[in-house]
Each structure stands twice: as structure tokens, then as C-alpha cells.
Structure 1
Amino acid sequence: MLKIQEIRELIRLIDQSSIEEFVYEHEGTKVHMKKPSTSVPVETVVKTVAEPTVKIVTPEAPSQAPAQPTAPIAETKQEEQAKQETVNKENLHKITSPMVGTFYTAPSPDAPPYVKVGDKVKKDTIVCIIEAMKLFNEIEAEVNGEIVEILVQNGQLVEYGQPLFLVKPE
């Protein structure tokens, strides 16, 4: 019987190769891996011609104060926030899925989740379970820190290498 580390290594090797399907049988144990279809989606490009717009500007009365532009300032603040979030996310550790399977936040449907946003975790803290081939695999945090974001939903199918959690390392 294959050990979980051997299965993970097989998944990693198949993922990095051009092999689309892999089957391994030994002593009644069968491992079957298949990559998603590599078909290329077809895109349709539609060209539209924009009609020119005419803006009529009338002179304002001298007693009125000129209007202050608010849109560029708001856009600048939004751009700054987006850049800050990108920089912050670059400093975070991603806990990724070591296999293809179904993501679960708790050991059973009626149990509380292993972790929530804001929880402190250690390297060996179990953060979720991934079910693959009727086996429930406990996934550990891999780093000491704080859970900042949970990137997948309970019961969602996940791919090998897909980010599951963002952790702010200590």
C-alpha cells in the first residue's frame, strides 16, 4: 500500500509532466489520476464602433466657485488600497492543497470548524481536512501565525497546489 507521502509525490510528478492520465495497481490497491481536459476555449471578439459624443460647455457665472474634482481623488485612494492589499498578501504564507479532493473546515458536519479568521495557529495545528479517494487527510498549518483569510468554501472541490488559507507569519 502506498504511503500518503508517496501519493503526494506521484501527484506532484504527474502535475508537472505532460501525462494526462495515470493508473497504478498493486496488491488490490488502485490509484487513478486524471488531469482536467486541456481543450482551449474559443473566444469571440466583437468590435464595436463608439459614436462620438459632444459636450456643450456653458460659461459659469462669476459668483460660483469652481467645482472640485472628486472622482480622481477617490480613484487614487482605491488604487492605493488595492496596491496595499497586494503588498500585504505578498507577505502572507499560503497554505496550499497537497492533493485533489474535497475541502472540509470541520471533522464532521455538526462540529465547529478547525480554524476561523483571526485564529492563532502553530505549525502542527490542523486547519482543515481534504477528502481524497474516501480518505480524510488532515492538513496542518505549516507555519506559526494568524489566519487572515480562508480562500475556499466548505465542501468545495480543490486542486493540487490551490491556495486554501492565507496566514500572517509570526
Structure 2
Amino acid sequence: MLKVQEVRELIKLIDESSISDFTYETNGTKVTLKKEQGEVVTVSKSVQEQPVQQEAPQPSAKPKVEKEEPKEEPKEVPAEEPATTSTDFDHEIVSPMVGTFYASPSPDDDSYVKVGDTVDANSVVCIVEAMKLFNEIEAEVKGEIVEILVDDGELVEYGQPLFRVKNK
């Protein structure tokens, strides 16, 4: 199974390339990346009956996966665009998956970050729990947290803004 950071790297590579469709299948898990109007959309699906294959993506697999995913996801992908129109922040940290947002590593611990905290690109800002897996979310930018957009324990969607950061 791919780690969150590996999926992020794949998204960046596909976004910067001329590839429009990409499918990766391993250990019963299938990840499909598809560019739509210049944005990269990630679709992940668990595959039970198919063995691992190293082939080029097959067009017949795409419609099957797309029908099973909610239609709302592509609308939420351009989360970084509002950052260019507002002067209060420069970047939004968005959720890379659907899951439950946790501001701290455990209920007894302090939050990873608070409004006014300075973060580096590799600073952990929260956890998103999906299917009993706790995924640490990194800031990916250097700056100051100016707004926290979700509450602890709240369900978040793919591409949903979690934090607003002002570059320093």
C-alpha cells in the first residue's frame, strides 16, 4: 500500500508532466490519477480478484472507478486558487484524503499547531484518520498559521482546506 507522501509525490509528478492518465496497481490496491482541466484527481480503489499486473493503463478500468467515486471531489481540488486573491494568507493546507481530522496526536496532548505558530515544510500540522490508519499531514510550506478551518474530530473531504498559512 502506498504511503500518503508517496501519493503526494505521484500527484506532483503527474501534474508537472504531460501525462493525462496514470494507473498503479499493487497488492490488491489500485490508484488512478487523472488530469481534468489542468488539475490532478486521485482515485483509490481496493481490488480483490485481480493479480498485480505491470501493464499500461487500460481505458476500460477508468469508467468503472469513476462511477464509484462521488462527483463532488473534482470540484474541491482547486483549493489553492483562493490563496492568490486574498491578502490574509498565501497558502491553504488541504486534506489529501477523506477521513477524521485530529489536531493532536492523542486527546491528552496539545495540538500540533495553533494560530500564530510558525511551521516549516516538513512540520506535522495534524492527523487525518482514514480506515483506522492515522496519517500525519505535513505543512509543505514555510510560514505562519493564520487560521484553522476545521474542528478536532470533524470529518473532512479530499481537497478540503484545513489551515491557512501566510508565508514568511
Q: Aligned runs of 1:120-159 on 2, under 5 Å? A: 120-159=118-157
Given candidates 137, 150, 169, the residue that maps to 2:167 is: 169
Note the C-alpha offset of 1:130.
0.3
Partner of 2:86: 87
Task: Map Cα deviations across residues 23-56 of structure 1 (whole Å, 9 max, x no partner).
Answer: 42379xxxx9953477xxxxxxxxxxxxxxxxxx
- Structure-2 change in CA distance of 1:98 and 1:12 (3 Å): farther
- What RMSD, in angstroms, separates the aligned Cα atoms of the two structures? 3.3
Gaps of 5+ in 1: 39-85
Structure 2 distance, partners of 1:6, 1:26, is 23
Partner of 1:111: 109
Identity of aligned residues (%): 53
The amino acid of 1:97's aligned partner reads S
Which has a greater percent of strand? Answer: 2
Structure 2 distance, partners of 1:147, 1:155, is 19
Structure 1 distance, partners of 2:110, 2:140, is 21
Note the C-alpha offset of 1:138.
0.4
Partner of 2:48: 25
Structure 2 distance, partners of 1:109, 1:94, is 25
Structure 1 distance, partners of 2:87, 2:129, is 31
TM-score normalized with structure 2 length? 0.57
Note the C-alpha offset of 1:88.
1.3
Q: Which of the two has higher C-alpha Rg?
A: 1
